[in-house]
Amino acid sequence: MSTRRCVRPADTVAAGRALAAWLAPGDVVVLTGPLGAGKTVFATGVAAALGVRERVTSPTFTLVRPHACANDRGIATLYHADLYRVESLDEVADLALGELVEESALALIEWGERGAALWGPEHWEVRFTLDDDEVRELALVAPPGRAPVGGWAA
């Protein structure tokens, strides 16, 4: 597990950009941590690195929002999901998030721990924690065999 310390929102965006470099089509990235920890801010960094042109805002209301990507890495769609309002595993299964992640797509799932049993061992996880001074620590858990060489420290 490697970690990054984020003092300003721009640091959290940069962490998202850095992670994006390691992602491949079909990947699922689960973001966990308390309300206001910077998960959506992190998502804007991932989206920017994948060539999403439109503004990335919170997907809480619609649960899943697709974004078209422009990159040379075979990732055509970023599915930005948010399970904040979801309470049971059955409801997550109803959303069929697993089916969204095709060969040319990638899923970024906020509050993803609510569907933990559905992701399998192959997913990425970013754990957000927050101290009393509003400094965020982001811990990255990579799928087996895919830990970034040299970690993702800034």
Partner 1 sequence: MRVLGIETSCDETGAAVLSSGWHLESSVVESSMALHRDFGGVVPELAGRAHVETIGPTVQAALAQAGLDVRAPRLDAVAVTTGPGLVGSLLVGLAAAKAYALAWDVPLVAVNHLEGHLYAPLLESPDLAWPLLTLLVSGGHTQLVLVEAPGRFSVLGETIDDAAGEAYDKVARWLGLGYPGGPPIDRLAEGGDPSALALPVSMTGEGLDFSFSGLKSAVVRAGERHPVAAADVAAAFQGALIEQLTRKMVQALARHRVAGVALAGGVAANRALRAATAAIAAEHGIAAHLPSPAYCTDNGAMIAAAGLVHLAAGDVAGLDVGADPTWALGA
Write out the residues near partner 1 by the rule CB under 8 A.
34-36, 40-41, 54-55, 57-58, 60-66, 84-87, 91, 94-95, 134
Which C-beta is closer to partner 1: that of 61 or that of 121?
A: 61
Least Cβ distance, residue 140 to partner 1 (angstroms): 22
Q: Which two tokens stand for residue 92?
A: 């997550």
Identify any residues that bridge with 105 across adjacent strands, giving them in sequence order: 77
Question: What contacts 56, CB < 8 A, 6 or more positions away?
Answer: 40, 43, 44, 47, 67, 80
Nearest partner of 41 among 134, 113, 115, judged by Cα: 134
Separation between Cα atoms, residue 26 and residue 123, nearest integer Å = 10
Least Cβ distance, residue 26 to partner 1 (angstroms): 22
Which C-beta is closer to partner 1: that of 35 or that of 149?
A: 35
Least Cβ distance, residue 45 to partner 1 (angstroms): 14
Nearest partner of 43 among 35, 34, 55, judged by Cα: 55
Which C-beta is closer to partner 1: that of 76 or that of 142?
A: 76
Least Cβ distance, residue 54 to partner 1 (angstroms): 7
Other CB atoms within 10 A of residue 88 CB: 10
Which C-beta is closer to partner 1: that of 43 or that of 152?
A: 43
